[in-house]
Structure 1
Amino acid sequence: MANERLVTWICHPDDFLPEYVDKITEQMTERWAEPCARHGFAFRFISANELVPACDERPRLWHDGVDLLRTRQAYIVDDVSGDPQATHFLRGIYRAIDASDSVLLNRSLVGPECLERDKLAILARASTLGVRVPKTVALPFGRYARKGLDVVRKEIGEGPYILKAREMGIGFGVLKLDSYEQLRAAVDIASQTGQSYIVQEYLPNKGDLRVAMVDGKFAASMLRSPAEGAYLANITQGGSSSANPDVATVLGDVERIVADLQAGYLCVDWLLTDDGPVLGEWGTAMAEFSSMPEPARSQLADAFFPWVGRLLSEPAPAHSA
């Protein structure tokens, strides 16, 4: 099977307004172009709604009559959605690629795939390593969601709280609630969405510190800060960023996490509270370089593409046809 130095990002645009999708797509395409060219790669977006995964004597992924898995290339799959049916379809694409000769960059760690995206799984794993994590409660599903509120009161107290989906990103649908009464009403709404939610203690903080590691080595860092009077530091939610803040207070924990997960690529996010850093979450290849300010963006890109190149040059995994 021929190798292609091509990174294909399989996106799911249907959760967002078209103008937002167009803006992000244009920005990422622009920011990927120069480092791709410098490292001898091509880059493209393909919408998941244009794909059909299949299998006969080997996994296939059909796009406009062409099986994308006929050659070996690298993929990033945007495999989370607010639509439960879409989520299952995205995971089908993810698993077809993972079973093929191609390289699925989401799978940059050793362990169950939930450790790439599930905030509850991430925090539970980190807590076993002695890493400080926020108090977190996973709500039961549907009409049973209110049964989790007694545990919230026992574990977290009377608020303030953060309510968020277990598997969404970019600050989408993250709600700060100041009282138990507000939380109860928000849980009633969240319980009807078909998604799984967590409740966390709200921790006042100076911002969100991201530490990017490639092949076990520090590559770059970014500090995201919320706008005045806001609580979300995500750039897409109005936050601002600065490049390469000091990471000395968290680097030991980051290295321990990376070693435990045997992660080739990992970005680890920390809330900078007055009582010290607290783990927010981590991400694999979807936490990529284009959202970082310069010079951190170029630093991470210059570590990312050689890592991808090495993966493509290695023999295909044993499970491949």
Structure 2
Amino acid sequence: MYSAVREAGTPSAKPYERMVNWVYNPGDFNPSHLDKIIADITDRWTAQAARHGFGFRFVEAGDLTPACSDRPRLWRDGVDLLETRQCYIVDDIGNDPQAVSYLHAISRVIDASDSIVLNHAMVAPEWLERDKLAMVGRAAQLGLKVPRTVALPFRRHAREGLEIVRREIGDGPYILKARESGTGFGVLKADTFEQLRAGVDIAAQTGKGYLVQEFLPNSGDIRVALVEGEVVTSMVREQSAGRYLSNIAQGGEARAGADFSPVLDDCLRVVRELRASYLCVDFLITDDGPVFGEWCTVMANFSQFPEPARSELADAFFRWAGRLLERDALPA
């Protein structure tokens, strides 16, 4: 089992620095939008962080070199960032398998040190943070209503999974998406089995794992943010007219203060099961009631929420990060 936010605390003789480092691979972003994405997030994070005495910075994964000699080290421009205890967010979901493996190396060497990977916020295997099939399976085991889901075999075997799709899900419509992805990127709605088969043929060439889910007509989704076992805030995301994705990055619209009472018990059950200290849980809003979508750790960050939910979650986030950072450590 995984315990990356050091639930019980780990004694540290090193000073800590109130800094959040967001490690990312620029190759995962459209070059024409990368500067805007970084500017928007930096603006929101820097202002919120400063209110709590934190600094914030983006760090390209290619500028870092993890190592271990007498202890874990993370080199950047000749400086070992692990000389002081800091907080990190490691964006380890991507399209390049080698880059993703390297991001895992970075996050794991940080975990081996006394610094903190904030997106490893659950006492569970780390892949349970990002594998949508694993999430659906665990949620179903906990008694949550989930969409029927089938994971596709790899490469030339992918079509073999279509027989199971038809058996488990029927004749459509379907959703085809990567098992490990975010922001609604590459999520394809197929209205017919023929369309799905063509989509699967394309997906099989990408080298990523894919799954198929039943498409459930919905009016959007509700996201509930919980920090240290308590609900902090919520939002509803709705599709723009004529669209099927409610993700804000794909044109969805958000409003804060959604009524989360119908899913509260499910959210608390998930958090208790995963022993998650920070988690956002998503549910599709259907005519038959809420259906579990997925959960996200710190990658579902406060900057995605509209105000006043954004500031509410930012306050809870930085208080939580500060307590983790200061536990058994010395100020710089």
1:73 paired to 2:91:
no
RMSD: 0.9
1:302 paired to 2:315:
yes
Question: What percent identity do the matched residue pairs reach?
Answer: 61
**2:324 alignment partner, SS class:** helix
Aligned counterparts of 2:74 and 2:257: Cα–Cα separation in 1: 39
**2:119 alignment partner, SS class:** coil
Partner of 1:48: 61
Aligned counterparts of 2:104 and 2:215: Cα–Cα separation in 1: 31
1:33 paired to 2:42:
no
Partner of 1:108: 121
**Which of 185, 195, 218 is the matching residue for 1:182?**
195
**2:160 alignment partner, SS class:** helix
**1:250 alignment partner, SS class:** helix
Partner of 1:206: 219
1:21 paired to 2:42:
no
Equivalent residue runs for 1:132-143 within 5 Å: 132-143=145-156
**2:17 alignment partner, SS class:** strand
Normalising by structure 2, we get a TM-score of: 0.94
Partner of 1:265: 278
Query: Unpaired segments of 5 or more residues in structure 1?
Result: 317-321
Amino acid at match of 1:127: A
**Which of 241, 255, 259 is the matching residue for 1:246?**
259
**Which of 88, 98, 121 is the matching residue for 2:134?**
121
Offset of 1:66 from its aligned partner? 1.0
**1:220 alignment partner, SS class:** strand
**2:262 alignment partner, SS class:** coil
**2:51 alignment partner, SS class:** helix
Amino acid at match of 2:313: L
Partner of 1:315: 328
Aligned counterparts of 2:207 and 2:65: Cα–Cα separation in 1: 24
1:160 paired to 2:162:
no
**2:123 alignment partner, SS class:** coil
Partner of 2:206: 193
1:52-100, Cα deviation, whole Å (9 max, x unpaired): 1111121111111111111100000000111111111111111111111
Aligned counterparts of 1:288 and 1:114: Cα–Cα separation in 2: 19
Offset of 1:311 from its aligned partner? 0.5
Offset of 1:51 from its aligned partner? 1.2
**1:233 alignment partner, SS class:** coil
Tell which has more relative contact order, 1 or 2 (C-alpha 8 A, sep 6+).
2
Aligned counterparts of 1:191 and 1:52: Cα–Cα separation in 2: 32
Offset of 1:298 from its aligned partner? 0.3
Aligned counterparts of 2:180 and 2:111: Cα–Cα separation in 1: 20
**2:182 alignment partner, SS class:** coil
Aligned counterparts of 1:33 and 1:80: Cα–Cα separation in 2: 23
**1:286 alignment partner, SS class:** coil
Partner of 2:234: 221
Q: Which runs of 4+ in 1 moved over 6 A?
A: none
Aligned length, in residue pairs: 316
Offset of 1:31 from its aligned partner? 0.8
Partner of 1:319: none
Query: Unpaired segments of 5 or more residues in structure 2?
Result: 1-13
Aligned counterparts of 1:7 and 1:33: Cα–Cα separation in 2: 10
Offset of 1:138 from its aligned partner? 0.4
